[in-house]
Amino acid sequence: MTIATADAKCRTQNVSAWSFDVFDTFLVRACTTPDGVFERTYELSGVSHSCPNVSANFVQHRIQAEARARRTAKDKRSASEVHISEIYSYFPFRLFGLARRDLNDLVEAEFDAELELCRANPDMLRQYLDMKRAGHRVGFISDTYWDSDRLARLLRTCWPGLTWDFLYASCDHGSSKSEALFAKYLSEQGVDAATSFHVGDNERADIRGARRHGIRPRYYPQATPQLASKFQRETALFELLCHGAPSRLDDGARTLRRMVAARSAEKSPAFHLGLTILGPVMTAFDAFVARRCAEVAGPGRQVALGFLGRDGFLSHRIWQSLHGTTSAYLEINRRVSLIASADTMQPLVDLLSKVFKIDAPTFHDMMKITSPKVAAFFAAFPGGIATGEELAAALPDLLDADEIVELAAALRARLLAYLRHTIPGFDDCTDLLLADLGYSGSVQKALRRVFDQEGINIRLHGAYLISLDDAFDDVAEEDSAEGFISDLVVTPHVKRMLIRNVALLEQACCSADGSVRDYEGGTVLREINPRPASQIALAAEIQAGAQAFADSAAGVAADYGLHPYAAPDIAARWCTATLTRLLLLPDEDELALLGGLKHDVNLGTHALAPMLDSRFARDQITARGLSAACTSAAPPMWLAGSFARLSPSYGYLYVLFGANRLPADVFEERPCGSVQVGLFRASGDAALETVTIYRTGLAELRLRIPLSRTMAITMIALPLAKCAPEGLLHGVTVQHGDDVRDAAESQDVIGIATESLVYAGLQRTGEHYRAENEDGCLLIPVAPMTQDIAVYSAAITPLGTGPK
């Protein structure tokens, strides 16, 4: 039953009293967690000046001091409730350059932090005042180290003129709500427990404690367990990625997210993801774009704002909703802009080298050029399909410079007609700001070349959610580019890990249409959209949740006195933590919701690349080791999700690798023994080959068996009983190359089908096996080799004894 429903019912009943918990119920704090108060105390007390960059140390010592004070009180008084001065009596003053005479100063600084961070919860205040107007007795019961005088001052500071019939602070009575405080309240106030209510957020103290004394509880959790778990992961990532920054003070960003979620009706998981994760990220980005517009504007400047499609679709919708129709949605992609700006062969070579596969019709559709040379080139490949790299290498022999100039000029004219049609007053603009997810400003740079070629004196400015900042050094001097999540927020290593997994964000933010391929009469001609309808519907539901957050954020923030975007650096760091958590540390529900998405590659192919492939990740680890697997190129597009699907710990190891916190001497393999492997030929001849057994940092055993084509091996007998009599076989893989090193480093890892393996003298259930005798072997069939070398690898987790 909701509190509102309970209110309606209680009006027709004889209610003796309503009591409210104070912290995280009637009052909320504009910080990520309650110990954000301690982090602010560190700043207000002046300790941050005498001992800089040790806020985490200060916070942990404040927490430990409270724990010691409570233990001592329990031992001496048989009660664990303490006053704030008792807590600070156990604080290590000297460590932070303080003396014991500074105890009261620390107490005052912490209370000042409470006064600064606490806000009256308008939802609870409304309930409170309704009960008071209805003639019910109302008041507060709080487990707190602040005495009733300070608690009263705090409440009236958050809501001037607030009155109550009773106020109980646990430290004044030496007992908590879980102990005897409720009983004391009932006795002293003459309240009938059966007709009284208590509202609180703590299940143990507020709910079970009230129920044990016959009081009817009303549960007001700050966040669902699922959202609270996401918040914990975000904090862990923040502390890992944003070194030295306060990890608890976020100007109320998390409080805003909690309150928006609390006010939202229960909807689909996709909507909830948009509401609680993507919406906060894109609303923070919207504030960044607004600041960029203000920076660009000035006397004599006519500024236009365009959101680059398709990935800018959601951010454009949010801008329209929050700021009105003061922007354009520009469907310009890298392919169109690069071709339109080409005055040499090189831009096309750079573009085509990134294409996965391409055929003659697609090339013609892209380049509008068909010639006998081009037809002959594609005819030389199986099925008429070449890789982009092969086409890029051959391009100078297939086309001449005049064709490129003519092609670019025609597309450039169509592009400019589209811009004039889409951006009102385009020719009067002095500055055009391009907003996009990112990353290196390739469209902005291409448009600069287009404008220069056509003599258009419009300055270009980039506003990117994620930026590869070292790519902006060649931005034209009169132009500018800036990323919200820049290399000043996280390291370049982390940034590249984010971008490696950013396809998930792109699919969640982009429009339902296919990508632009050309223009006609000022309108867009698009590629076919190969994404399934179910995926488009899922993205629309996520975007609806994100839009709902953006639409309500300003109002809720005003209700709670929150300013989450006022400090750009703080907003950027917490936006990074929120987005990074989704992309790099998804939970099981998110993997289930998003794992089936596909990424449409475009750039000349209609192929859909999978987001998730946990088998790929497992095979890469088996064949190449953990660190090498973490560098795997796409696909799958969501490598972090693929690791997380293996296990949450693998997902976190991937994050550590990207943050440069995964030491090779701990997690990489080391020799730990050897074993003789049987190699069999079709003729029946056999030989024994000694191979090294390696042990990894995850306690797996890894064996690599190199074979040459000249050996003509058809079967490998791997003596599992001698490696580990009992264990988990995670898989067998094969790689090919011209030499052993080339094969071992190849990302083209092929997993050997489980059903083709023969367990001789072994009992097997799934990955688990147990040797029946010391001769138990795994028989691995060897496929005909197309290259000189094949390397077969096996990964085993031993159970019980290790290798003999």
Strand order in 431-436's β-sheet? 328-331, 303-309, 431-436, 459-466, 480-485
- Identity of the residue numbered 276: T
Is the pLDDT at 338 greater than 50? The verdict is yes
pTM of the model: 0.92
**CA-to-CA distance for 712 and 718, rounded, in angstroms?**
17
Better-predicted residue by pLDDT, 141 or 804: 141
Is the pLDDT at 15 greater than 60? The verdict is yes
Better-predicted residue by pLDDT, 352 or 557: 557
**CA-to-CA distance for 622 and 466, rounded, in angstroms?**
33
- Mean pLDDT over 480-507 rounds to 96
Split at pLDDT 50, 70, 90, the class of 603 is: low
Tally Cβ neighbours within 10 Å of residue 160.
8
CA dist list (Å): 455 to 416, 449, 450: 12, 10, 9
Q: Please check whether residue 569 is in contact with residue 288, taking contact to mean a CB–CB distance below 8 angstroms.
A: no
- Mean pLDDT over 609-631 rounds to 96
**CA-to-CA distance for 796 and 555, rounded, in angstroms?**
56
**CA-to-CA distance for 181 and 169, rounded, in angstroms?**
9
- Mean pLDDT over 424-433 rounds to 96
User: What pLDDT is stored for residue 9 in this prediction?
Assistant: 47
- Mean pLDDT over 587-613 rounds to 87
- Mean pLDDT over 353-369 rounds to 75
Residue 468 φ/ψ region, left for φ over 0, alpha for ψ in the -120 to 50 degree band, beta for the rest: beta
**Which residues lie below 8 Å from residue 383, measured CB to CB, with a gap of 6+?**
359
User: What pLDDT is stored for residue 387 in this prediction?
Assistant: 84
Split at pLDDT 50, 70, 90, the class of 119 is: very high
Is the pLDDT at 242 greater than 80? The verdict is yes
Is the pLDDT at 803 greater than 50? The verdict is no
Split at pLDDT 50, 70, 90, the class of 5 is: very low
For residue 703, the surrounding DSSP H or E stretch is: strand 701-708
Q: Distance of alpha carbon 290 from its chain centroid, rounded?
A: 23
User: What pLDDT is stored for residue 349 in this prediction?
Assistant: 82
User: What pLDDT is stored for residue 383 in this prediction?
Assistant: 85
User: What pLDDT is stored for residue 265 in this prediction?
Assistant: 86
- Mean pLDDT over 249-263 rounds to 96
Give the three-class secondary structure for 677.
Answer: strand
Q: Which of 171-175, 349-353, 458-462, 773-777 has the lowest mean pLDDT?
A: 349-353
Q: Average per-residue pLDDT in the chain?
A: 93
User: What pLDDT is stored for residue 630 in this prediction?
Assistant: 96
